[in-house]
């Protein structure tokens, strides 16, 4: 079953997801980047951020840039197109 059934070509889709420390830890294991700013809550609490920071590539891969249009595809199209 296609997840976009019921949508029309050109409909806008908003996807929201709250990222967790478990997400950061899973990406650290996957990427090999276990910098404590991403993985250690006690260490990162002492930084200017005050808490763990997401890996840049994790954010880029999980969430396309805001400048991209998120539209439902017609048959044969990709799920998103660049503006």
Parse the chain into domains and list their residue ranges.
21-82
Cα–Cα distance measured from residue 26 to residue 59, given in angstroms and rounded to the nearest whole number? 13
Among candidates 70, 77, 63, which has minimal Cα distance to 13?
70
Query: pLDDT tens digits for 15-28?
Result: 777 888 899 999 99
Residue 17 in tokens: 């997801």
Decide: 54 and 62 in contact? Cβ < 8 Å: no
Which CATH number is associated with domain 21-82? 3.10.129.10
pLDDT in tens, 36-75: 999 999 999 999 999 999 988 888 777 655 544 545 555 5
How far apart CA 33 and CA 35 sit, in angstroms, is 6
* Whether the Cβ atoms of residue 55 and residue 30 lie closer than 8 Å to each other: no
């Amino acid at each position: 079953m296609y997840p976009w059934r019921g949508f029309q070509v050109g409909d806008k889709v908003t996807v929201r997801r709250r990222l967790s420390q478990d997400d950061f830890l899973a990406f650290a294991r996957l990427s090999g980047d276990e910098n404590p700013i991403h993985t250690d809550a006690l260490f990162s609490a002492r930084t200017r951020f005050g808490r763990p920071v997401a890996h840049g590539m994790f954010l880029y891969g999980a969430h396309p840039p805001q400048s991209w249009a998120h539209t439902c595809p017609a048959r044969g199209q990709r799920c998103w197109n660049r503006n």
